[in-house]
Amino acid sequence: MATHVAHFQVDSLFLVRTLLQIHFDKNYNFNEEQTKATIFSLTEILYTNELTEDEIQIIFRRYADNHNSGNEISLTGEPEQVTEVFSYLFDLPRYQETYWKNILDGFGHDYSVIDLIDKKEYQSEKAGHYSTLLEVLASRYADEFDELSQSEKDKFILENFKLIGKAKPISWYTPDHPVGWG
């Protein structure tokens, strides 16, 4: 591939945003392997409330640090470079906050246990919340959890975990919907 030098100025922030948006559209948007929380959060950052100049500088400082390139960065547009730069989006505080809000709104995995203390989502199988919850409690909270009485354990679970399941539409769970099994 031949390199061409263009003799005009371009808004570097516009160029970076455009490269990231293209990468998102090719690799994330409408990709069924991605959760809605991821897609909605990236859409928020890349399109609705675009990346700020400060956020772009944070991303490129990380990129420059990883490549020992000082303050000079050459954007080649190569897929590997764009993928690496894009990966730094996930560490931005605004992305993390937006993603967590989307997880709490139920846009993560179809079945999951959400740890409200550590702000983590643990994917579970359909009707597998109990075993997933036990695994999280054993791996993360074993020492403190074992010391609690049964009523304190129940309170701890109810206050610090959220179970997500999407077997029925949300209307099935609302009070004005008739209670039943089908």
- Give residue-wise pLDDT tens across range 117-166: 999 999 999 889 999 999 999 999 998 888 999 999 999 999 999 998 87
CA 7 and chain centroid, separation = 39
Please report which confidence band the pLDDT of residue 92 belongs to, taking 50, 70 and 90 as the band edges. very high
Asked if 116 and 42 count as a contact pair (C-beta separation under 8 A), the reply is no
The rounded distance, in Å, linking the Cα atoms of 116 and 72 is 41
Backbone angles phi, psi at 58, to 5 degrees: -60, -45
**pLDDT at residue 63 above 80?**
yes
Please report which confidence band the pLDDT of residue 66 belongs to, taking 50, 70 and 90 as the band edges. confident
Please report which confidence band the pLDDT of residue 181 belongs to, taking 50, 70 and 90 as the band edges. very low
pLDDT at 97: 96
Each domain of the chain, given as residue ranges in start order, spans 12-103, 109-173
Cα 108-113-118 angle, rounded to 5 deg:
90
The rounded distance, in Å, linking the Cα atoms of 28 and 21 is 10
Local structure of residue 172 (DSSP, 8 states): G
